[in-house]
């Protein structure tokens, strides 16, 4: 009986993961100029207009790079030059009332304009940097974090 | 001009009187309203609630020091991000008859406007999201809100909007526009929202 526990835990974890995973694109690239990359798993690609971005993707801009994304929940972000952001969590499943949206900013400049996640589940949305965390309530913000 | 006279200006340009290296600034929305932001650092918290309210997040004690940023500093130091702001999504609402996927007469004209916006927007993606009011069971409302969304999606496709850029979703009676007690009919909650992004 004792040996069954790890297997049960593994099964529960798998079920939990599959229930929360959001396979649809989190959003799409709406503006881009200069050097901007999107890292999806092990694949690094130059960002282009209308390119989808997914939960866990990384966005990075070079010294001449700028990029804007509109998410499926109508949240918008824009990155200035020399910036790196991970779309650490993005789950938007209103039918199941499941929301999770964490932007992790390593460095750079970010504009954030709130969308539906923040309206429907304010506690589910946050912007994290190495030094501080920001929660917004129906608003537009600028964030800068030093490298 | 003497070197002495130039020096203060030069010093100002070099050190800057601009924004801190680590900073959060609250801006008014595009429609002029101002929301709120809460910044957490270590154990401290700063609340921003006024236009251009800002906080230096670079030092332990700095969260106690909320200040008002200069618009010119914000515009120059965040120029790249502010240039890259995606356009605001256009949201069209369609209302429905009770228990039905038939559009309320007040919403019929909206369809032409949504189609025009969808076709006139470059690199567009669209979501069509169905809602129901608080009459009927959860199961019924989920199915009804999905059917409403499908009927609007089909109407868009019939008028030439490509189906592959349309995402469909439904909320059932969750997330009403106008909260009501269970069982109360409300036109504004029997809706489909189309976001053209």
Over pLDDT 90: what percentage of chain B? 73
Taking CA–CA distances from A52, the nearest residue in chain B reads B125
Q: Does B29 sit within 8 Å of A140, measured CB to CB?
A: yes
- pLDDT tens sequence across B98-145: 999 999 998 988 999 999 999 999 999 999 999 999 998 999 999 999
Would you tell me which residues 61-80 of chain A have a C-beta closer than 8 angstroms to some C-beta of chain B?
61, 65-70, 72, 74, 76, 78-80
This complex has an ipTM of: 0.86
Q: Does A134 sit within 8 Å of B80, measured CB to CB?
A: no
Q: Would you state the torsion angle of the CA atoms of residues A58, A89, A66, B11, taken in this order, to the nearest 10 degrees? A: -100
Q: Give pLDDT, residue B58.
A: 79
> What one-character-per-residue DSSP string does A72-133 give?
TTS-EEEE-SS-EEEEEEEEEEGGGTEEEEEEEEEEEEEEEE--HHHHH-GGGEEEE-SS-E
Write the CB contacts of B90 (distance below 8 Å, at least 6 apart in sequence): B117, B121, B195, B196
Pick the more confident residue, B3 or B63: B63
Taking CA–CA distances from B36, the nearest residue in chain A reads A137
Q: Does B24 sit within 8 Å of A141, measured CB to CB?
A: yes
Least CB–CB distance from B167: residue in A24, A81, A141: A24
Q: Give pLDDT, residue B15.
A: 43
| Closest of B165, B182, B13, B37 to residue A132, by C-alpha | B37
Q: Does A139 sit within 8 Å of B35, measured CB to CB?
A: yes
Contacts B82 to A, Cβ<8 Å: 78, 80, 111, 142
Below-70 pLDDT ranges, chain A = 1-22
């Amino acid at each position: 009986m004792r040996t069954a526990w790890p297997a049960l835990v593994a099964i529960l974890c798998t079920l939990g993961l599959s229930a929360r995973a959001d396979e649809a694109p989190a959003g799409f690239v709406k503006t881009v100029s200069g050097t901007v990359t999107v890292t999806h798993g092990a694949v690094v690609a130059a960002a282009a207009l209308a390119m989808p971005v997914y939960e866990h993707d990384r966005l990075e801009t070079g010294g001449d790079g700028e990029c804007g994304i509109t998410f499926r929940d109508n949240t918008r972000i824009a990155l200035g030059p020399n910036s790196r952001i991970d779309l650490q969590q993005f789950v938007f499943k209103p039918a199941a009332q499941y929301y999770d949206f964490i932007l992790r900013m390593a460095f750079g400049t970010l504009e954030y304009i709130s969308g539906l996640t923040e309206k429907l589940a304010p506690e589910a949305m946050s912007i994290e940097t190495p030094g501080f965390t920001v929660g917004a309530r129906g608003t537009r913000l600028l964030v800068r974090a030093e490298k | 001009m003497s070197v002495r006279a130039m020096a203060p200006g030069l010093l100002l340009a070099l050190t800057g009187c601009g924004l801190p290296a680590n900073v959060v600034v609250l801006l008014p929305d595009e429609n002029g309203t101002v929301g709120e932001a809460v910044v957490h650092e270590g154990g401290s918290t700063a609340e921003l609630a006024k236009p251009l309210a800002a906080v230096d997040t670079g030092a332990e004690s700095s969260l106690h020091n909320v200040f008002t940023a200069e618009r010119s500093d914000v515009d120059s130091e965040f120029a790249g991000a502010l240039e890259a702001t995606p356009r605001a999504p256009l949201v069209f609402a369609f209302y429905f008859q009770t228990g039905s996927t038939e559009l309320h007469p007040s919403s019929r004209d909206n369809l032409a406007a949504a189609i025009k916006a969808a076709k006139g927007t470059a690199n567009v993606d669209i979501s069509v999201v169905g809602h129901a009011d608080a009459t009927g069971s959860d199961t019924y409302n989920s199915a009804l809100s999905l059917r409403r969304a499908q009927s609007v999606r089909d109407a868009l496709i019939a008028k030439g909007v490509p189906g592959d850029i349309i995402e469909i979703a439904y909320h059932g009676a969750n997330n009403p526009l106008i909260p009501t007690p269970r069982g109360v009919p409300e036109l504004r909650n029997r809706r489909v929202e189309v976001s053209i992004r």
